[in-house]
């Protein structure tokens, strides 16, 4: 019988680790680098995971990639809700920080 590969889920993202990731994302101009075809994304996620490790958070490059993807998606969904008339003004968690990073894209 073939042995199934087990995926280790790792630790959950805490508020502190998420805020640290967002800070790195903003400070290191990660979004701009992800759009740059000269930058290899895997190297960038390795770098982010190393910085998080240096800050005391054990995350893999893949976990960082998925968390950034989810934060981007949640930001866009929230922004879409805010742009529709008749919807409440409730924003998503980290909206202000994410808007500083992702809001720049729509202005360029």
Q: What is the pLDDT of residues 44-95, one digit of tens each?
A: 999 999 999 999 999 999 999 999 999 999 999 988 888 876 566 667 899 9
CA distances from 42 to 39, 93, 106 (A): 9, 27, 25
The pTM assigned to this predicted structure is 0.81
Q: For the chain, what are the domain ranges?
A: 16-107
Tokens of 85: 């008339």
Identify which has the larger pLDDT, 21 or 106: 21
Give the pLDDT score at 91: 72
């Amino acid at each position: 019988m073939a042995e199934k590969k087990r995926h280790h889920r790792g630790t959950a993202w805490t508020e502190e680790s998420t805020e640290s990731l967002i800070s790195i994302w903003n400070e290191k101009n990660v979004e701009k680098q992800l759009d740059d075809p000269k930058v290899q994304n895997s190297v960038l996620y390795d770098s982010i995971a190393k910085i998080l490790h240096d800050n005391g958070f054990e995350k893999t490059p893949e976990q960082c990639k998925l968390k950034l993807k989810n934060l981007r998606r949640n930001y866009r969904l929230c922004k879409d809700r805010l742009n529709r008339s008749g919807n409440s003004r409730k924003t998503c968690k980290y909206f202000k920080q994410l808007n500083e990073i992702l809001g720049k894209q729509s202005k360029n």
